[in-house]
Amino acid sequence: MSAPSTHDTPQPLAQRPLTGQDAKTLALAALGGALEFYDFIIFVFFTTVIGQLFFPPDTPEWLRQLQAFGLFAAGYLARPLGGIVMAHFGDRSGRKRMFALSVFMMAVPTLLIGSLPTYATAGYAAPLALLVLRMVQGAAVGGEVPGAWVFVSEHVPEHRVGFACGTLTSGLTLGILIGSLVATAVNKIYTPEQVQAFAWRLPFLVGGVFGFFAVFLRRWLAETPVFEEMRQRKALVQELPLKAVLRGHGLSVAVSMLLTWVLTAGIVVMILMTPTLVQKLYGITPAHALEANSVATLSLTVGCAVFGLLADRFGVGWMLGLGCLALLVSTYGLYLGVNAAPERLVPLYALTGFCVGVVGVVPTVMVRAFPAAVRFSGLSFSYNVAYAIFGGLTPLVVTLMMKDHPLAPAHYVAGLCGVGFLVAFYLLGAGRTRFAAMSAS
């Protein structure tokens, strides 16, 4: 494995303080990421309505719901291809171009989804068009997330990479919270009949408009100093970037994929699945579960930034290990605590959401795991392929485990926290040596 590189700029620049321009870059990147992730995630809050409108009315309810979730999953399946292609050009032509393209590719299909005819008007052309648009959205988010992490990490001083990646991750999780709040507002303002008639379109139309606003905002961002310096030195990768990654950075890919698995456990199980699980396991009402989930997602947004900041102060290895321990304890505390006292759901879920913020450390490790010339491709391949596999299988595995073990969600997360411990141990040992060697190169 070639040693991972954190920053290929001269040491004096790496040690400079965070400037106002850095803060502006982080703010614009995080805001754009929040708007783009909102566009991608809003679909899941309206799958029931979409299933009713985009498939034949005589379809059994279970099949209609399955088809709707299949459309949602199609976005995840398209992520690896979109991420790999966009990363290729990001390593060859520039980070900024792909950073702007990804948000444009998200805004257009989101706007079109809000304007689509339903099955009653267009027949089977309606779900097919929706499938295509979801795949475009998936390709866009596949380039956005790793591209955003690379972009902000190459703009800030080396000793602020953790804060930059944590802040950007906070922006992405904020998009989930905005989607939840908008969906809740739509369902409170309009009757179920009105939602099915027209109101379901509003979040998509608004998301598309704000997506174009994000495209405009990103015009103010500059190319990263790291990429500009490589371009001036004519040090850009000449061969296929992904080929270089797979040939010379296998261990970096493995570490990054393992950490992505940890990330999916925190986000998919604790943030996306838990509201439904506590309703089923402990009789929590849907309204109370969604309220607690909103609080937990807000705590997650804060937690990502805090863990990123602490990673700069104490090191990514220590914060990954301590964060995984905190997540393990808080997860069991949530499921056991709500079982004993359901009225404690909100504070327990808020604490757990904050501990899920350890995922804010993950991108810091990954951007340091690859040299700048192939950083975008290495991170994008590792993250998107792992997320497509583990993000897709996690709900199925947890559901199957729950047949015999009611605490299966907590056991699953605990197991992945163990994986996080192993990676943290590596980072504190051999990994630290490798990272330090590359940082100085």
Which residue range(s) make up the domain with 338? 11-439
* Count of Cβ atoms closer than 10 Å to residue 379 Cβ: 30
Is residue 183 situated within a structural domain?
yes
Per-residue pLDDT, 327: 98
Q: What pLDDT, in 10s, does the model give residues 199-211? A: 999 999 999 998 8
The pair of three-digit structure tokens given for residue 441, joined into one six-digit string: 């190169």
Query: Does position 135 have pLDDT exceeding 80, yes or no?
Result: yes
Which segment, 6-20, 50-64, 191-205, 225-239, is predicted with the most confidence on average?
191-205
Q: What pLDDT, in 10s, does the model give residues 207-255? A: 999 888 888 888 888 888 888 888 888 878 878 888 989 998 899 999 9
Phi, psi dihedrals of residue 166, rounded to the nearest 5°: -65, -40
Per-residue pLDDT, 3: 41
Residue range 48-74: average pLDDT?
79
Is residue 192 situated within a structural domain?
yes
Query: Does position 267 have pLDDT exceeding 90, yes or no?
Result: yes
- Residue recorded with tokens 């001083």: 157
Is residue 3 situated within a structural domain?
no
Residue range 313-336: average pLDDT?
96
The answer to whether 173 and 303 have CB atoms below 8 angstroms apart is no
State the pLDDT confidence band at 439, using cuts at 50, 70 and 90.
Answer: very low
Q: How far is CA 434 from CA 5, 244, 313, 361, in A?
A: 9, 18, 19, 18
Going through 333-434 in order, the beta strands assigned E by DSSP cover none
The torsion of the CA quartet 398, 75, 272, 150, rounded to 10 degrees, works out to 110
Is residue 335 situated within a structural domain?
yes
Is residue 334 situated within a structural domain?
yes
State the pLDDT confidence band at 191, using cuts at 50, 70 and 90.
Answer: very high
Q: What is the DSSP letter of 156?
A: S
Q: What is the DSSP letter of 198?
A: I
* Number of separate domains in the chain: 1
Is residue 285 situated within a structural domain?
yes
Per cent of the chain over pLDDT 90 is: 51
Q: What pLDDT, in 10s, does the model give residues 396-422? A: 888 888 888 889 999 999 999 999 999
Q: What is the pTM of this model?
A: 0.87
Is residue 4 situated within a structural domain?
no
Put residue 371 in one of left, alpha, beta given phi > 0 → left and psi -120 to 50 → alpha. beta
Q: How far apart are CA 116 and CA 54, in angstroms?
A: 10
Is residue 428 situated within a structural domain?
yes
Q: How far apart are CA 145 and CA 99, in angstroms?
A: 9
As a whole number, the mean pLDDT across the chain is 87
CATH of the domain at 130: 1.20.1250.20
Q: What is the DSSP letter of 283?
A: -
